[in-house]
Structure 1
């Protein structure tokens, strides 16, 4: 399957990527099962990041609450 990958860095300097199907001549050929795995792992990473951000917000709230 031909895909176009967009690789970049987020605001925190973490590597990110998105992909979309592409029939362009320069498209990267990737097996469908590899794309499914990439998508599943990307979603797991996003969920873990959201949980981590929630925990960090709770820690900040706790620390700021102790200073009041």
Structure 2
């Protein structure tokens, strides 16, 4: 299952669900989603952005050593 489509599906579900739910409850659900899913992916190292920034940091360190 593609993670991006899952997020879109979840977003549409939240929009549909939000019609009957107070804003505070909706924000609480979004915070729980962010905490359990997105942060979990970051800490597992499986998130693309984490790999991308790690590769960029490593590349920057190599470039700095080559300049010196």
TM range (shorter): 0.3 to 0.5
Taking structure 1 as the reference length, what is the TM-score of the superposition?
0.39
Per residue, is there more helix in 1 or in 2? 2
Taking structure 2 as the reference length, what is the TM-score of the superposition?
0.39
